[in-house]
A = this chain, B = another copy of it.
């Protein structure tokens, strides 16, 4: 079967032939429909994040998948049936076996050494005609969402981050009205839409693009305000717009958490999701520390998401307006055409927001 991989030492994905995988005990065989591409894939391709499976010279890419159950284990304890459309979660137990995080369904809380991540770190991903997975890591989605199912994983990532940030504000009555999303990629725009539907009155999205631009169109179609970071850095947002109750950081720009402390309203929280490289710079640490205390502010880091977040993300996906997913997904390409799904590697297109590789159709 065909698979899209990154080989050790290479800097661009390629398509290779691999044997179709045999499901192990408790595993389903899944025929892949589509697999999305995101910023983490580029970090993996560049080698700045993640790693290869032990003893392998390549990694099958892809962690945002949707597929159809092709085979189920004979004695599986599952409600799944052959033909069901499913989305796989990303984390799996490491070689040492399952641990408490997996046993209680909270793989997203495992530290990196207690987990592998399919398509990212230590385990092959889903960019192949077929993949296998223990049935407990497959979440079903309605057939009519199958073509958009690769958006479930990114939505689940935001769902978890929003949940953890809100939990940090649960010891008092928190009625947030304004939210700022840092980053106008697909994840940022999905989150902007999710926040709008959660009752935020005023939403803002930070980017660094000139008009006309399709992401700015999406931002404004969602009723949000576009903030150009070249004109208004994050710590000047209170002066130009307003202090905001919630900030969602999805760019990985290292200064953002520090600037966010200044941009938050009293009792606000910033959820951090980006993964910057090491970078030393000066901050007014005394002021940031005092600001966090005097205004009861919080910073909450969040990585990955668990099965519960995936299930919630299926509901969210169904609830998002159809124009949004159509505007966000700017290209779905057959596997022979996979290079077009990696525009940052092969051929930049300013108008790209979200791409996916299609392996088969429902």
Where the two chains meet, the residues of A that have a C-beta atom closer than 8 Å to any C-beta of B are 104, 106, 108-112, 160, 163-164, 167-173, 252, 254-258, 266-267, 272-303
Contacts A254-B285, A256-B289, A289-B257; is A266 near B298 (CB within 8 Å)? no
Are A299's CB and B298's CB within 8 A? yes
Are B301's CB and A275's CB within 8 A? no
Bound together, the chains give a CA A281 to CA B266 distance in angstroms of 25
Are B294's CB and A275's CB within 8 A? yes
Bound together, the chains give a CA A167 to CA B269 distance in angstroms of 13
Contacts A106-B173, A300-B168; is A283 near B286 (CB within 8 Å)? no
Which single residue of chain B is at the shortest CB-CB distance from A276? B286
Are A281's CB and B275's CB within 8 A? no
Q: List 22 A-B contacts (CB under 8 A).
A: A108-B296, A167-B169, A167-B171, A168-B300, A170-B170, A254-B289, A255-B285, A257-B285, A272-B289, A272-B292, A275-B290, A275-B293, A276-B285, A278-B287, A280-B285, A281-B285, A292-B301, A295-B303, A296-B301, A296-B302, A297-B301, A299-B299
Known A-B contacts: A109-B296, A275-B294, A291-B301. Give 5 more (CB < 8 A).
A111-B294, A112-B294, A274-B293, A292-B299, A297-B301
Chain B hits for A275, CB < 8 A: 289-290, 293-294
Are A298's CB and B296's CB within 8 A? no
Contacts A257-B285, A279-B284, A296-B302; is A111 near B290 (CB within 8 Å)? no
Are A284's CB and B280's CB within 8 A? yes
Contacts A171-B167, A292-B272; is A298 near B300 (CB within 8 Å)? yes
Bound together, the chains give a CA A146 to CA B303 distance in angstroms of 48
Are B303's CB and A289's CB within 8 A? no
Bound together, the chains give a CA A266 to CA B108 distance in angstroms of 11
Majority SS at the chain A contact face: mixed
Are B164's CB and A296's CB within 8 A? yes
Are B289's CB and A111's CB within 8 A? no
Q: Which residue of B104, B289, B295, B303 is within 8 Å of A294 (Cβ)? A: B303
For the complex of A and B, the 10 pairs showing the least CB-CB separation, nearest first, are: A292-B301, A279-B286, A168-B168, A254-B286, A111-B266, A276-B286, A167-B171, A293-B301, A254-B285, A298-B300
Bound together, the chains give a CA A278 to CA B291 distance in angstroms of 10
Q: Which residue of B168, B290, B294, B303 is within 8 Å of A167 (Cβ)? A: B168
Chain B hits for A273, CB < 8 A: 293
Chain B hits for A301, CB < 8 A: 291-298
Are B295's CB and A111's CB within 8 A? yes
Which single residue of chain B is at the shortest CB-CB distance from A258? B285
> Nearest chain B CB to A250's CB is how many angstroms away?
10
Chain B hits for A298, CB < 8 A: 164, 168, 298-301
Bound together, the chains give a CA A300 to CA B285 distance in angstroms of 15
Which single residue of chain B is at the shortest CB-CB distance from A164? B171
Q: Which residue of B279, B296, B303 is within 8 Å of A293 (Cβ)? A: B303
